[in-house]
Chains A and B, each alone.
Chain A
């Protein structure tokens, strides 16, 4: 005889409502298969509800909404995340389940991110956490470290709220100010060096249709291929391009300079990078130089630490 689990109790208590929800969802999505959805409830939803604690009806409601919103096609990785974080799902079912699903979606959508690392680190470092807020703070900082470069500023804002030692565990420092001041900081690398290449030809799955050029707008790096313009986010952990068609070049005094033959100079130090020779555009701010050349659809970054 099958054990009456919290999930089964919730289903029994709100059978009519869940059935009505499913019928409405199938009304809009003809491909929503009843048997497949039942299997999804059994394999995906049930273990999480049973592990979550809290009010099983609230947890079931939240996961049912999430499942219907995605036509029962939730990624396997989300199942692992929600199961790992089941006690937090039990605390605030709708908020935690949707937030973690969204975070995972953003990580999986951004090229170059390490989703597996985010899941593993979240599982490891969340063990000592007590509240939903602290879990979400940790998730943001980890998402940044795992490659969502666009999250840098907001992740640094919440990084100081992490427990002592947690930040050091994956950035090698507890000093948030240091991470904020130097986007390319690492405990080992020093001097002038190429730190990142970002962007690719659209024909090969990248962003740019032509080799881009770079410029600063309101102190922030932008790139254009002539047809469109993007805001460029880049640091030691990742890079991202976001459409920003209203940006226009604005002059700003350079902090690093680039000669025609590829020599980068900063504070009396100089180093030649042959791949930067014949640059079509370059711009610098703080300790970063961004360079484009006619030979590649990537933006190259040089840092000085």
Chain B
């Protein structure tokens, strides 16, 4: 009898029970293709292949016995331990380790991931494994990895002009550049990026954000890649301060969690037996360039239902409003204060009327950028794809938010909310803080019953149907509804972030209808 369980073998399909139909017919394929399989075994969908890659990494490569990305399929148990009543939950659904899954989703979507944590926690090893998943030989992945250090120059990182050309050339265009091979790879690793000098960081920024490198007026168009940057200190420490623009280009931040001492035996075996999992990544979980492209396209096609998107809209709306920052309605934002170099906390402290404990916006110094929202959408789709879900669910969205917004949503440490006993840990635990913000936003969304009663949503939906054949009488009716809604809010409601966004959306609609009405009158 053949046995199909060794270190090199990946989990058998389906990795998510219930996602693959039972096989009724015994076919030629079954005669030759099971129970042992070839590395290039066909008929495995790419999401299943991605799950196999995940399970191979957590089972064999990285000792990360953490299941911090929790999913429920029915009621689950939880226990409170210690004086602080620390809650330990036992999820009822298949749950995952963020330290493995988030980099894997970055690989699938070709985004940019920052791995943070103390030295020797497996950050670089995790990044190398991602390079192996792209099919590169281990030696190439290691050679292509850029190591940040204070003497790293742009030429070291990008390429060197050919010495002969430097002497002979009469114009910059005559100088050929020997580009570094890592620029063309689908997985790019920059180790200890916070030790790179500021000038070299700028070149890295161009490469990461715009996809090209420039040396001596020569341009290298870089391949669309998954980026992995590591840093021992996520608060910008190291030899050089990381420039904000570079930080902003990072889509997702993930922590290397602490080593669980119960797994020291596993570590001992690896040391004694000189085990290097990255040397024997099974071919079944290696993605060709075509598969990588196809997987990315499939991820982007995962639908995001309107109901889920509305929750994200409502959540995102909480953070930008800062009433004292401006006089004109559109400029009453934290961005206005930050651009003016004024302390957001000082301005927010002068606000009156809103409950500063309940107001989620009071807990942050910044709002959410378009780039960060794009990252949220991409990672939510990628997680739904990974979980074999037909569309993005609220749990997918809630799970990726803390990692995408980790460095995007700056906490206002002086907010009184953080002095509440239950919220004090949020000063240091940013993942839980963002998770709690989203949960509270969802609770408020439910309290306002916005799934059912959403007059602004109704007006936007009505406008989305188009203006063909809409007469002036109808336009007047719609303008009247917009104005009466704003009048109602001006009487009854305090200005919260979501109301601010809704009011600006109503102004937008109002302006579109006014322009259309002018056109109708001119046409007559």
Chain A residues with a Cβ under 8 A of chain B = 17, 20-21, 23-29, 65-66, 68-71, 73-74, 94-95, 98-99, 101-103, 105-106, 108-109, 136, 139-140, 143, 148, 150-151, 153-155, 157-158, 231, 233, 240, 242, 244
Cβ of B461 < 8 Å from any Cβ of A?
Answer: no
Looking at the complex, which one of B6, B8, B28, B275 makes contact with A154 (CB distance below 8 Å)?
Answer: B28
On whether the beta carbons of A24 and B8 are closer than 8 Å, the reply is yes
Check A17 against B269 for contact (C-beta < 8 Å). no
Contact assessment for A69 and B9 in the assembled complex, using a CB-CB cutoff below 8 Å: yes
Q: Which residues of A sit under 8 angstroms from B8, Cβ to Cβ?
A: 21, 24-25, 65, 68-69
Q: Which 9 A-B pairs have the closest CB atoms?
A: A150-B26, A99-B32, A24-B7, A28-B7, A154-B28, A23-B273, A105-B2, A20-B279, A25-B6
Do A66 and B36 have beta carbons less than 8 Å apart?
yes
CB distance from A228 to the nearest CB of B (A): 13
CB contacts (< 8 Å) of A66 on chain B: these are 36
B276 close to chain A: CB less than 8 A = yes
Q: B279 — nearest CB in chain A belongs to which residue?
A: A20
Asked if residues A102 and B34 are in contact (CB atoms below 8 Å), the reply is yes
Question: Which of chain B's residues have a CB closer than 8 A to the CB of A20?
Answer: 274-276, 279-280
Q: Which of A26, A102, A244 contacts B31 (CB 8 A)?
A: A102
Q: A136 to B7, Cβ gap below 8 A?
A: no
Interface residues of A, dominant DSSP = helix
CA distance A139 to B29 in the complex (A): 12
Given A98-B37, A158-B28, answer yes or no on A105-B7 (Cβ-Cβ < 8 Å).
Answer: no
Residues on B with C-beta less than 8 A from A233 are: 26
Contacting pair A98 B36 (CB below 8 A): yes
B468 CB within 8 Å of chain A: no
Query: What is the interface of chain B, defined by CB distance below 8 A to chain A?
Result: 1-9, 24-28, 30-39, 60, 269-270, 273-277, 279-280
Q: Least Cβ distance of B2 to chain A in Å?
A: 5
- Residues in B neighbouring A153, C-beta threshold 8 A: 25
Give the complex CA separation of A119 and B36 in angstroms.
19
The distance in angstroms between the C-alpha atoms of A100 and B9, with both chains bound, is 19
Cα–Cα, bound, A244→B399 (Å): 38
**B1 — which chain A residues lie within 8 A by C-beta?**
105, 108-109
* B contact residues around A103 at 8 Å (CB): 31-32
**Is the pair B24, A26 in contact by a Cβ cutoff of 8 Å?**
no
25 A-B residue pairs with CB within 8 Å: A23-B274, A24-B6, A24-B273, A25-B8, A27-B269, A28-B60, A29-B5, A29-B6, A66-B36, A68-B6, A69-B4, A69-B6, A69-B36, A71-B3, A74-B2, A98-B36, A98-B38, A101-B36, A105-B1, A140-B28, A150-B25, A155-B28, A157-B28, A233-B26, A240-B26
Q: CB < 8 Å: which of B3, B26, B31 contacts A242?
A: B26
Known: A101-B36, A102-B36. A25 touches B7 (CB 8 A): yes
B7 to A151, Cβ gap below 8 A? no
